[in-house]
Amino acid sequence: VSGAYALGEWVRGPGEDLGVFRYHCGCEYRVTAPPAKEGALPYFEFDQDNFPICRATFALLASGRTKGVFQLESSLGRHWTKRLRPENADQIGALGAILRPGCLKAKSEDGVSMTERFCRRKNREEEAEAYHPALAPILSSTFQVITYQEQLMRMGKELAGFDLVEVDKLRKAVGKKDQQELAKVKTLFLAGCTRLGIVTDEQAATIWGWIEKSGRYLFNRSHSQSYGLLGYSTAYLKTHDPVSFFANWLYYAKDKSDPREEISELVADAKLLDQPVEPPDIRDLEERVSTDMVAVRFGLCDVREVGPSRVEKLRRAAEAAEAVLGRPLREWTWEEFLFHCGHETGHAATTGWIAVGAFRWTGKKRARLLNEYRAWAKLTEAERKWVLANCRPADGVTAALRAVGRPKKDGGGAANKNRVALLQGEVKFLEDPPASEADWPNQVAADEEHYLGVALTCSRVEACDLGEVNCTCKEFLAGRVGKLALGVRVCSVRVIKTKKGDKMAFLSVEDASCGMDDVCVFPEAWERYEGVLRVNNNVLLRGGKDPKKDSFVVDRVYQL
């Protein structure tokens, strides 16, 4: 099963009724038009203000595959979403609050961060016991961890009898850490608690201690909740309409602070979710990322150094040639394209398009296309016209160059001896190219990375000797256990210090199948292999699944 039908099925209705699309998670939508293409979703509308509660969406969040999910897409966000495993929009909202640096740094007496405390209690790894019965209802939605400013304000009101003005003073003083103001509010708070007598003076002092400390990380609940809803909406769309999701996110990747990183993360994530992402296709004449609702395809201007004017020129040349050939661009051969449009597209754009596979429909090797284009580009205007008048595209580029490269007196198109020598030199080159015209994975991947920002059709890892590899990233994520050997590229390295003060690292890696986070290198291995585990290095990782967690634990590393 592929495409939309991996997500659910279209249950056609009787007669004119197009029926419903029924997702495996239980979500259902009334279909308004049949799918645009085999394997695509039929048309229906999501109610964007009111997404249903859906187990598939929460499963996506719990898996930590939150690339593109509002507020949760950084590697920190992916890590903590997986750790928390949120079960409702409230908890997704709380993630926005507990992911903030203040909360991650704020430690309880036992050295555990407030973020970790929240996760442990939510997942019932420790008791969420209320310090005092009066605090229980105030902190119940956050497992008795002070998380929001609103909770602080309620504490002022209910324990110390503060009115709205005083409560606001409390919020401001704690947030700003103004020592003088804080001392004033503290006196008021303790006096209020004594007056109401709900908590003892000693308890009031303890609670004040937490309030003061919480100032460093509190966030407001209303804000968190609206973020949470937006986060849920994006996760829902990613789960239910991945093709539109990735098409849109890739389209706007250019606006991110690091577009290349964004593109490469999105593509790795799409691979993992079985969403095909393809290089541009010259025949589409699309400038930017687009989709036929089955695959997502890069556009011609997503290739480095190609601007819209280049595509516009090509469009006009193609229209003119379509009239001459009597067939649409989509039905042309490579030679027809080259003869009629090859001079309009410009050197930089054409070599870029060839290198990323925009001509893969021709079935020819990219290296061969490049050689033929470079030879063709040497023709003068007059020689090109001569070829169009005298040669058949079906005979091939080499034959056309051989014919035009003869002197005019012999019936050719070359104006002088120099032109004859140059063109016959090109013929020799095409007949017997000095370098192999195979498409080596290493070269294809490097070209795609250079021109598009990401390797789509293969990975540089594939060029390495992968004889020892017995598992892909995707297979590992799907649950493979045992002694494993992965052949991967290191994408990022995060080094941390353990409680004992030793260094260890978490890696993000990728191979042709997909990318994965949370590859764990414990101190002993890190000390040994730090030099090899560098970003962009291709390595063989021997190791296996951590029995307690989902992560891959590295035992040995070899340079590939």
Q: Give the residues lining the site for Zn ion (CB under 5 A).
A: 23, 25, 27, 54, 56
CB of 82 to Zn ion, least distance (A): 20
CB of 85 to Zn ion, least distance (A): 17
CB of 528 to Zn ion, least distance (A): 46
Nearest alpha carbon to residue 288 among 174, 188, 297:
297
Cα–Cα dist 157/192, whole Å: 9
Structure tokens that stand for 10 in this block: 């279209």
**Quick one: 239 or 513, whose CB is closer to Zn ion?**
239
**Quick one: 23 or 339, whose CB is closer to Zn ion?**
23
Cα–Cα dist 16/275, whole Å: 31
CB of 240 to Zn ion, least distance (A): 6
Q: What is the maximum alpha-carbon separation in the chain?
A: 114
Grouping H, G, I as helix, E, B as strand and the rest as coil, residue 542 is strand
**Quick one: 23 or 386, whose CB is closer to Zn ion?**
23
**Quick one: 156 or 231, whose CB is closer to Zn ion?**
231
| 379 alpha carbon, distance to own chain's centre | 43
Q: For residue 103, what is the enclosing H or E element? A: helix 101-105
Long-range CB pairs of 84-91, under 8 A, 24+ apart, other chains included = 84/118, 84/119, 84/122, 84/123, 85/58, 85/61, 85/122, 85/123, 86/58, 86/61, 86/62, 87/58, 88/53, 89/225, 89/228, 89/229, 89/232, 90/141, 90/225, 90/228, 91/122, 91/228
Nearest alpha carbon to residue 474 among 535, 532, 552, 534:
552
Nearest alpha carbon to residue 30 among 48, 15, 12, 14:
12
Instruction: Give the Å distances, CA to CA, from 88 to 57, 62, 85, 400.
Output: 10, 11, 9, 67
> What single string gives the DSSP state of each residue in 51-76?
PPP-HHHHHHHHTT--TTSTT--SHH
Structure tokens that stand for 164 in this block: 């709205």
**Quick one: 55 or 283, whose CB is closer to Zn ion?**
55
**Computed over its alpha carbons, how large is the radius of gyration of the chain?**
31
**Quick one: 23 or 376, whose CB is closer to Zn ion?**
23
CB of 372 to Zn ion, least distance (A): 50
Cα–Cα dist 2/25, whole Å: 17
> Looking at this protein, which amino acid is placed at residue 57?
T
**Quick one: 30 or 260, whose CB is closer to Zn ion?**
30
> Looking at this protein, which amino acid is placed at residue 494?
R
CB of 23 to Zn ion, least distance (A): 5
C-beta of residue 453 within 8 angstroms of C-beta of residue 402: no
**Quick one: 56 or 106, whose CB is closer to Zn ion?**
56
CB of 83 to Zn ion, least distance (A): 23
CB of 25 to Zn ion, least distance (A): 3
Nearest alpha carbon to residue 261 among 453, 73, 444:
453
CB of 234 to Zn ion, least distance (A): 14
CB of 47 to Zn ion, least distance (A): 13
**Quick one: 23 or 80, whose CB is closer to Zn ion?**
23
**Quick one: 27 or 188, whose CB is closer to Zn ion?**
27
**Quick one: 24 or 378, whose CB is closer to Zn ion?**
24
Which positions ≥6 away from 168 have C-beta within 8 Å? 153
**Quick one: 53 or 324, whose CB is closer to Zn ion?**
53
CB of 24 to Zn ion, least distance (A): 8
Residue 198, CA atoms < 13 Å, CB-side half-sphere: 18
Cα–Cα dist 247/299, whole Å: 11
CB of 46 to Zn ion, least distance (A): 11
C-beta of residue 96 within 8 angstroms of C-beta of residue 118: no
CB of 56 to Zn ion, least distance (A): 5
**Quick one: 22 or 216, whose CB is closer to Zn ion?**
22
Q: Is 190 exposed, middle or buried (0-12, 13-18, 19+ CB in 10 A)?
A: middle
